[in-house]
Structure 1
Amino acid sequence: MNDQPFDLDLLKAFAAVADCGGFTAAAGRLNSTQSTVSQKVLRLEEQAGHRLLERSHRQVRLTEAGEQLIGYARRMLALDAEVRQLLSGASVAATLRLGLPEDFAAGRTTSTLAAFARRHENVRLEVTSGLSRELRSLYDRGELDIVVVKQRRGTGDAVKQWQESLCWIDSAAHPVLALDPLPLVVFPPRGLYRDDMVAALDASGRRWRVSYTSSSLASIQSAVADGLGISLLPARVVHDRHRTVGPQQGLPMIETMEIALYYRPEAGALVTRLAEDLSALIGDDSRDEV
């Protein structure tokens, strides 16, 4: 790596390729040509001294060095945009990047975020929802300012943690609990609750099979309600088309998860205020702080 400052134009091309997943789409976003974008990324790789992208016919992926750089690249580009706004006489909007699990990114949460935005009109909220492991990875790479994630109890250095109450659910109209093997509706591999379900059933000697897999909470809820299998979900997302089951039906209790709030104390007053609002929201849902 040489000592020259990074060229923002090269960083912009790199970020566009990462966001679009390919050079052709990135060229369209930048109103440029594919070859020009490719040359800019090559020049950035030479300057960084590392290969930043793995290229194939189907897709483009970040290398380990690319994953390390992309967060800094976006922050540098955002800072450049803010400086340009300031010098042009326009009011500068602070950007807060928030990550939420899918089951938090609706309902009372959106009301809380809307109220925060109304109190702070100079703040632009960017909300990303997804699996907790993905959100935590984005936070660790500096691409999110504050995250709410699910994790195993006592496994992280979160600012705050709350116990997550889990329960087994079956269909109210089409129960399947008596089937052998027991059909399971699950999140994808490495998704939360899946390993806990399997370990608990194995320990109890109950035969099981995966009948439905989805990364969407709404899809999981519907699959259970329609009788495709049972699942393990937070108690707060159970609705009237579900039937809660548990030890009385031979299913073990599972109390291994917590909700965790992460943010960097040095991030500033606005992040702290948003964290306080989220803490109040989570605390209102009858969870015990740990």
Structure 2
Amino acid sequence: MMPPNLPTDLLRSFAVIVDAGTLQKATERIYLTQSALSLQMKRLEDLVQTPLFVRDGRRLALTPAGITLLGYARRMLSLNDEAVAALAGDDFAGPVRVGMVQDVSETLLTGVLAQFAKLHPRAQLQARVAGTLELLEMLEGDRLDIVAGFGPAGDPTTVRTEPMRWLGDAELLAEPVLPLAVLEKPCRFREAAIAALDAAGRPYRVVLETPNLSTLRAAVRAGLGITCRTVLFGTMSPVLEEGLPALPDVSMTLASRAGGTAPINSLIGLIRSAVLDLAPVEEKAEAA
């Protein structure tokens, strides 16, 4: 009987699951669904004809066979990556893992990725869209290489600073209790809007709370509520210049891990240039 051929993708997923401890945490590192990872592990166990994992509460523990395979898997993956990097150069030194907030992904992702693909046609890119805090935690946990997000004015990773602006239908300003549309926590813009209204003593109520920027835009454009954002990535509705308290500046930030590969450093440069080249799009409310 011929010995089984163990595909590299199965061994890599196997090692990641072991390091993460659970399938859910493993999905954050290799961007596969839990069901896809389960199918991969079933296929791997079928190939070696023995169970590799046992349940230990919520965690997955290795069987004796799993412990044995893990040592070989790490050696095989290390040798595979070393060989590929030696033959192909920096483009195959590992995937480029980038995290972006929704504003950046919707406005810059297509153009930046197209440029990156031309410069590094053989490089693998993994992109994740989430809030800045979550992305920075992933960067700290070595699950991302680059994070493009928002921070306070003066953040050391600032690329560009812009003022926050109130956006929405001017007619809503006549409401005795201001209707407010916001993203779910944590959100720097949400916090700034509520803090400014509280400080000014302006009554308000949250009429829409959503995790999705597209939903927020649709609600504001429909006149459901007022929100705050920057105009760096385009407006949702006319900018409101009077009748509301002042808002702070916000920084567009670009954080990364030290010692990045050539493709990682290249993508950092492309994102930085794209942010600096953005022209604010302002649509002022018509005078009453």
Q: What TM-score, normalized by structure 1, do the two folds share?
A: 0.71
The amino acid that maps onto 1:98 is V
**Aligned match of 1:207:** 203
For 2:98 and 2:109, locate their aligned partners in 1 and report how far apart those are by CA, in whole Å: 12
**Aligned match of 2:15:** 11
- Assess if the C-alpha contact under 8 Å between 1:265 and 1:272 holds in 2: no
1:1-290 equivalent positions in 2, closer than 5 A: 11-14=15-18, 15=20, 17-18=23-24, 19=26, 26-31=37-42, 36-39=52-55, 41-43=60-62, 82-83=81-82, 93-94=92-93, 95-155=95-155, 157-158=156-157, 160-171=158-169, 175-239=171-235, 242-246=237-241, 248-249=242-243, 251-286=244-279
- Assess if the C-alpha contact under 8 Å between 1:170 and 1:245 holds in 2: yes
Could you list the per-position Cα deviations for residues 1-23 of structure 1 after superposition, in whole angstroms to 9, with x for gaps in the alignment?
Answer: xxxxxx97863443571345998
Please give the secondary structure, in 1, of the residue aligned with 2:225.
coil
For 2:36 and 2:263, locate their aligned partners in 1 and report how far apart those are by CA, in whole Å: 35
Could you list the per-position Cα deviations for residues 102-135 of structure 1 after superposition, in whole angstroms to 9, with x for gaps in the alignment?
Answer: 1111344321221121121121111111111111
Report the Cα offset of residue 211 of structure 1. 0.7
For 2:224 and 2:246, locate their aligned partners in 1 and report how far apart those are by CA, in whole Å: 22
Change (3 A) 1:107 1:161: closer
Q: What TM-score, normalized by structure 2, do the two folds share?
A: 0.72
**Cα RMSD after superposing both structures:** 3.5
The amino acid that maps onto 1:178 is A
- Assess if the C-alpha contact under 8 Å between 2:179 and 2:226 holds in 1: yes
Change (3 A) 1:272 1:20: closer
The amino acid that maps onto 2:38 is A
Change (3 A) 1:90 1:170: closer
Change (3 A) 1:42 1:102: same
The amino acid that maps onto 2:257 is R
- Assess if the C-alpha contact under 8 Å between 1:169 and 1:231 holds in 2: yes
**Aligned match of 1:64:** none
Tell me the matched-pair count. Answer: 244
Report the Cα offset of residue 24 of structure 1. 6.9
For 2:263 and 2:205, locate their aligned partners in 1 and report how far apart those are by CA, in whole Å: 47
Report the Cα offset of residue 153 of structure 1. 1.8
Change (3 A) 1:77 1:190: farther
For 1:142 and 1:187, locate their aligned partners in 2 and report how far apart those are by CA, in whole Å: 27
The amino acid that maps onto 1:169 is L
Report the Cα offset of residue 245 of structure 1. 0.6
Could you list the per-position Cα deviations for residues 76-100 of structure 1 after superposition, in whole angstroms to 9, with x for gaps in the alignment?
Answer: 997565347579x889734211111
Please give the secondary structure, in 2, of the residue aligned with 1:242.
coil
The amino acid that maps onto 1:43 is L
The amino acid that maps onto 1:272 is N
Could you list the per-position Cα deviations for residues 222-277 of structure 1 after superposition, in whole angstroms to 9, with x for gaps in the alignment?
Answer: 011112210001113444x612113x22x122123101111234113332222111
- Assess if the C-alpha contact under 8 Å between 1:171 and 1:227 holds in 2: yes
For 1:244 and 1:23, locate their aligned partners in 2 and report how far apart those are by CA, in whole Å: 43
Change (3 A) 1:96 1:186: same
For 1:169 and 1:190, locate their aligned partners in 2 and report how far apart those are by CA, in whole Å: 20
For structure 2, the 5+ residue unaligned runs are: 1-10, 46-50, 64-73, 281-288
For 2:143 and 2:103, locate their aligned partners in 1 and report how far apart those are by CA, in whole Å: 21
For 1:119 and 1:105, locate their aligned partners in 2 and report how far apart those are by CA, in whole Å: 20
Could you list the per-position Cα deviations for residues 164-221 of structure 1 after superposition, in whole angstroms to 9, with x for gaps in the alignment?
Answer: 332101137xx42221211110111221211111110011110011110111111111
- Assess if the C-alpha contact under 8 Å between 1:187 and 1:214 holds in 2: yes
Please give the secondary structure, in 1, of the residue aligned with 2:149.
strand
For 1:269 and 1:259, locate their aligned partners in 2 and report how far apart those are by CA, in whole Å: 23
For structure 1, the 5+ residue unaligned runs are: 1-6, 45-74
